[in-house]
Homo-oligomer: A and B are copies of this chain.
Amino acid sequence: MKQRIAILGASGYTGAELLRFLLLHPHISIKSLTADSQAGKSMREVYPHLDFAGLPDLIPLSQLNYDEIDVAFCCLPHGTTQQVIAAIPKHVKVIDLSADFRLADTKTYKEWYGHEHSAPELQKEAVYGLTELHRDKIRTARLVANPGCYPTSAQLPLMPLLKNKLIETDNIIIDAKSGMTGAGRGAKQAMLFTEVNEGVDAYSIGAHRHAPEIEQGLTLAHGKPVIVNFTPHHMPMNRGILSTIYVKIAAGKTVADLSDCLSKTYAGEPFVKIAAKGVSPSTQMVRGTNFCLIGLWNDRLPGRAIIVSVIDNLVKGASGQAIQNMNLMCGFLETTALQHTAVFP
């Protein structure tokens, strides 16, 4: 029997991107789509490219009947999601694409989000959904906190290297470049085509909320607290994150050791790949796909390495990884509906 799916907050980009994949998924059916601000509208009105797909109209969250739902994807804004998920009956599997359950430590949550976490018990239950590195826990989870886009691109290369003591913890610098879908679909002057096109800038310098999420993963991998520099930049393009990561190699180790470690860690993984020598990962190589592609280089600075990691922020950085997690949680083949080749050019 097919799993019946609800998407809460289906009118944003991650909602639409979930549908792009789920419409090709053989083992699910799209049962309900909610969007309070757009309730009553058809998907045609919100996303004309989804006209002809036979999708249900958008309903207010209050009208969602959880008795008919097996799996809920939650694409609601940060902060309001906690209450919504707290009210979901326990028979429903939940994959939350907001940041609400990503930080295991509710004190850290309060520090970065400015208010008490309203569902600390749920926070304890939530499993962090970085699939390749938490697969077993995800398989049996009821509530998965889907990772942030930047943290996915940074943790996949860094966690195995820290776990295996191949890099030092000081001076990890993550210079990240993101396409504009990361900023969401809300109407803001700064996100107008004319304000973004032909420009590059850094933002939230020294203060982006994905920093503690990255540090949580690196600390877990390393065993002791890790602090990082994380500096995100806007790029004039729709999709893709490229993280250029500058690290200090552990004494006696080489870039080849780092490369070997990642190759072994991700051998057999369907979605995480180490780039061939001489290939510089570009966001184009993963556009529209659930891949993470990683390359490594010697730095000119002695004893240091440069790591480049690319993902599509809407796929491996959000909706694709969410479906990958759903596949695990529901016992489906992990790659189901996610085996697209990159859309290039």
Q: Does A256 contact B (CB under 8 A)?
A: no
Shortest Cβ distance from residue A38 to the other chain B in the assembled complex, whole angstroms: 11
Total chain A interface residues with beta-carbon distance under 8 A? 89
Q: Does A240 contact B (CB under 8 A)?
A: yes
Residues of chain B lying within 8 A (CB to CB) of residue A197: 180, 193, 197, 236-238, 345
Q: Does A308 contact B (CB under 8 A)?
A: yes
Shortest Cβ distance from residue A177 to the other chain B in the assembled complex, whole angstroms: 5
CB-nearest residue of chain B to A207? B300
Partner of A300, one of B194, B227, B339: B227
Please state if B188 and A345 are interface contacts (CB–CB under 8 Å): no
Q: A189-B187, A194-B345 are in contact. Are A235 and B236 (CB under 8 A)?
A: yes
Residues of chain B lying within 8 A (CB to CB) of residue A233: 177, 242, 244
Shortest Cβ distance from residue A58 to the other chain B in the assembled complex, whole angstroms: 15
Partner of A301, one of B193, B227, B288: B227
Partner of A306, one of B23, B52, B229, B286: B229
Copies of this chain:
4
Please state if A229 and B202 are interface contacts (CB–CB under 8 Å): no
Instruction: Name the residue in A175, A186, A339 with the highest tally of chain B Cβ atoms < 10 Å from its Cβ.
Output: A175
Q: Does A246 contact B (CB under 8 A)?
A: yes
Please state if B185 and A186 are interface contacts (CB–CB under 8 Å): no
Q: Does A129 contact B (CB under 8 A)?
A: no
* Chain A 205-239 per-residue mask, 1 if CB under 8 angstroms from chain B, else 0: 11100010000000000000001111101011111
How far apart are the CA atoms of A199 and B285 in the complex, in Å? 9
Q: Does A13 contact B (CB under 8 A)?
A: yes
How far apart are the CA atoms of A297 and B288 in the complex, in Å? 34
Residues of chain B lying within 8 A (CB to CB) of residue A195: 185, 193, 284, 345
Q: Does A51 contact B (CB under 8 A)?
A: yes
